[in-house]
Structure 1
Amino acid sequence: MSFYTSLSGLQASQSEMNTISHNLANVATNGFKKSRTEFADVIASSVSVSPTKMVGSGVTVKANRQQFGQGNLIQSSSSLDLAISGDGFFAIKPQLDGSKVNFTRNGGFAVNQDRYVTDAQGNYLQVYPVDGSGAVVATGIDQTQSLRLPATSGTAVPTSQINMTVNLPSAGPIPTTATFDRFDPSSYNQSTSTTIYDNNGNPQTLTTYFKRTSASTGTGVNSTWEAYNYVGDVPLTAGGSNKINLTFDSSGTLTAPTTATTFDPFTPAGSPSAQTAAFNFGNATSQQAQPFNISSRTQNGKAVGQIEGVTVDGDGLVKASFSNGDVQTLGKVVLANFIDPAGLRQLGDSTWAATGLSGQPQLGSAGVDGFGNLMSSTIERSNVDITEELVNLIAAQRNFQANAKALDTASQISETIFNIRT
């Protein structure tokens, strides 16, 4: 009998050493949770045996129980590296179109070639769908979505209105070259460039050249300028004229034009079709003693936005920013928790699946109803303490040696009995 009792001790100690070795092997695994081997004694209880004379039959491994304590949090440079400070798991799907949902504490996410946010094993991060204001519109496990980053935002809007407020210097000379030539700086006084957009949303450069044609010589005598506009190499005309005439009174106030000048249809280089635009200098354009200055410049065109970055805030809202200034809320990170996390089935790769022991997942949001806080640009490391595990390993080794000694002793006793001669 003692042989089997000692053998159960050897097997239990071996199981504990296996558990400790597994913990130590994963000391650097992100999101890993250590396990602890729990034992129970074996007693063959019988009503016919006095409780003072009962002898145990050894030990059994009752459970290898997972320990879901917090791992160390370290900073990273990626906004998609997420960590939960407190309770909760990220919800992930192994298959994009599948219904199975697994759970993980490893928040090392990145964008794959199809712009989905996945972990290193290709599992898809799940988020709640949101409306344009960022409000969650569905919260069930079946309504979660795999997070995907859009490539673009918005639609192209061709420029149809340009507004510019400019001061032209009252002391500006009349150019020595009478005929305007944009390649000859002596034929104009000043120039400025404005970015506008064609029908495809492609940026185009509108260059405006200012040329003084006459100066005010006293009260009631106006000063005049000409403004020439080009989009790339395409000259802009209004009613067939390639210039806008500006007139200032003796006080430097713009007297003409008083309304926007509408250009004839023009087709920028590379644009699929013609467009029209109006140029408005406004009432604030002036001719004063100050240097040439553009105090205001606006246009109403808009390019299709290209994604430039993505952030995750403390509430779990995922927001993408685009080159045209748009900001889109793409979803809210799903957090899940369980009545008994120790009952989760380990799947490897720091992922778990729900079981009857763990209970069904309870979904929530970061920082709400007992769920932990969500941290971006942060990774949770393993919760294994090397020093503690090494001490436990020494104790398990001693237990193994003690049971081996008891087995050896039982073997010597048996041998002595076998050698008795009558």
Structure 2
Amino acid sequence: MNPALWVAKTGLEAQETRMQTVSNNLANVNTTGFKQDRAVFEDLVYQNVRQAGAQNTQDAQLPTGLSLGTGVRVVATEKEHTQGNLQQTGNALDVAIEGDGFFQVLQPDGTVGYTRDGSFQVNSEGTVVTSSGFELEPPLQIPDNAQDVTIGRDGTVTVTVPGQAEPQQIGQIQLAEFVNPAGLQPMGGNLYSETAASGQPQVGTPGLDGLGSVMQGALESSNVNIAEELVNMIETQRAFETNTKSISSSDQMLQFVTQNL
């Protein structure tokens, strides 16, 4: 295959992957706690035809070399864990994180997942769960006769029950943070899982040791910037079109050689 055609083909694949990333960002513009992805590119290995600094003659050294690139690829997609806007909902069990940290969620297989989606609810047993029914970790039980639920900035959960003037503390929400949150594995369902790249979770009280505080009656919106993503979409489209023109030009050159030589 003509090397130029192959190089342009890798460009098409890379831009197609970037377009998929942009499309996923736009599709999740209203997903609670969603963090936008960014495609990371790298050039492929070079064919080193002539080494820079080699001796051209006994007394002359080559100032530059001759290296031919073989294309490009998407080497990673990186989550940008910047703060999303906090939207007031007024729901007692809607909790947003202001700063660093993740809620801990117990999954059906017994492992712990991590999320920024704090739209919690209560199941039939009074346990606080996510919208998918996964229990918050550590578990939080709301009494049947609870009238009001209050969640403090440090995650302290108190309720008022009939016949008692003083609020009753029933538990505390804890947060987990990671050395490299970009290394977390997105699993869908607004959940992440721990990986070797993310490091082990450091669990603590909200507002302490670098952890963010929690805000009751609010949710963190997606951090996707629509205007930025639309610009990225146009840029990706133009880059894709340019690579198709490279293929067309290379094909015309080969056709000229075939017909005239």
TM-score calculated relative to the size of structure 2: 0.91
- Write the distance in 1 (CA, Å) between the matches of 2:111 and 2:42: 35
Residue identity in the other structure for 2:10: S
- Write the distance in 2 (CA, Å) between the matches of 1:119 and 1:323: 27
User: Displacement, 1:400?
Assistant: 0.3
**CA contact 1:89–1:103 (8 Å) conserved in 2:** yes
**CA contact 1:102–1:352 (8 Å) conserved in 2:** yes
Look up the match of 1:356. 196
- Write the distance in 1 (CA, Å) between the matches of 2:50 and 2:120: 61
1:148-207 Cα shifts (integer Å, max 9, x gaps): 1122xxxxxxxxxxxxxxxxxxxxxxxxxxxxxxxxxxxxxxxxxxxxxxxxxxxxxxxx
Residue identity in the other structure for 2:147: E
Which structure is higher in strand share? Answer: 1
- Write the distance in 1 (CA, Å) between the matches of 2:229 and 2:44: 26
Look up the match of 2:73. 60
Structure 2 residue aligned with 1:148, among 125, 141, 154? 141
**CA contact 1:70–1:383 (8 Å) conserved in 2:** yes
Look up the match of 1:373. 213
1:28-69 Cα shifts (integer Å, max 9, x gaps): 0001000000101113254x6324210111111111111101
SS at match of 1:419: helix
The structure with the larger Rg is 1
- Write the distance in 2 (CA, Å) between the matches of 1:348 and 1:57: 34
Say whether 1:110 aligns with 2:110: no
User: Displacement, 1:327?
Assistant: 2.7
User: Displacement, 1:330?
Assistant: 1.4
Residue identity in the other structure for 1:356: A
Residue identity in the other structure for 1:149: I
Which structure is higher in helix share? Answer: 2
Residue identity in the other structure for 1:100: T
Residue identity in the other structure for 2:28: N
Look up the match of 2:50. 49
How well do the aligned residues superpose, as a CA RMSD in angstroms? 1.3
Look up the match of 2:59. none
- Write the distance in 2 (CA, Å) between the matches of 1:64 and 1:307: 45
Structure 2 residue aligned with 1:99, among 104, 110, 117? 110
SS at match of 2:42: strand
Look up the match of 2:242. 402
Look up the match of 1:270. none
Residue identity in the other structure for 2:107: P
Question: Across the two proteins, how many residue pairs are aligned to each other?
Answer: 246
**CA contact 1:94–1:122 (8 Å) conserved in 2:** no
User: Which runs of structure 2 are paired with 1:301-380 in the superposition (5 Å)?
Assistant: 306-325=145-164, 327-380=167-220
User: Which runs of structure 2 are paired with 1:23-422 in the superposition (5 Å)?
Assistant: 23-44=25-46, 46=48, 49-51=50-52, 52-95=65-108, 99-126=110-137, 145-151=138-144, 306-325=145-164, 327-421=167-261
**CA contact 2:47–2:68 (8 Å) conserved in 1:** no
- Write the distance in 1 (CA, Å) between the matches of 2:245 and 2:154: 58
- Write the distance in 1 (CA, Å) between the matches of 2:249 and 2:110: 58
SS at match of 2:119: coil
User: Displacement, 1:119?
Assistant: 1.1
1:202-245 Cα shifts (integer Å, max 9, x gaps): xxxxxxxxxxxxxxxxxxxxxxxxxxxxxxxxxxxxxxxxxxxx
**CA contact 1:35–1:65 (8 Å) conserved in 2:** yes
Residue identity in the other structure for 1:119: T
- Structure 2: runs of 5 or more not aligned: 53-64
User: Displacement, 1:415?
Assistant: 1.2
- Structure 1: runs of 5 or more not aligned: 127-144, 152-305
Distance 1:394 1:376, change over 3 A: same
**CA contact 2:38–2:79 (8 Å) conserved in 1:** yes
- Write the distance in 2 (CA, Å) between the matches of 1:407 and 1:364: 55
**Identical columns (%):** 38
Residue identity in the other structure for 1:85: E
Look up the match of 2:58. none
- Write the distance in 2 (CA, Å) between the matches of 1:383 and 1:365: 24
Look up the match of 1:18. 20
Residue identity in the other structure for 1:115: G
Return structure 1 stretches of 4+ with deviation > 3 angstroms: none
User: Displacement, 1:115?
Assistant: 0.7
User: Displacement, 1:320?
Assistant: 1.5
SS at match of 1:23: helix
User: Displacement, 1:382?
Assistant: 0.2
User: Displacement, 1:7?
Assistant: 0.4
User: Displacement, 1:350?
Assistant: 1.2
SS at match of 1:149: coil
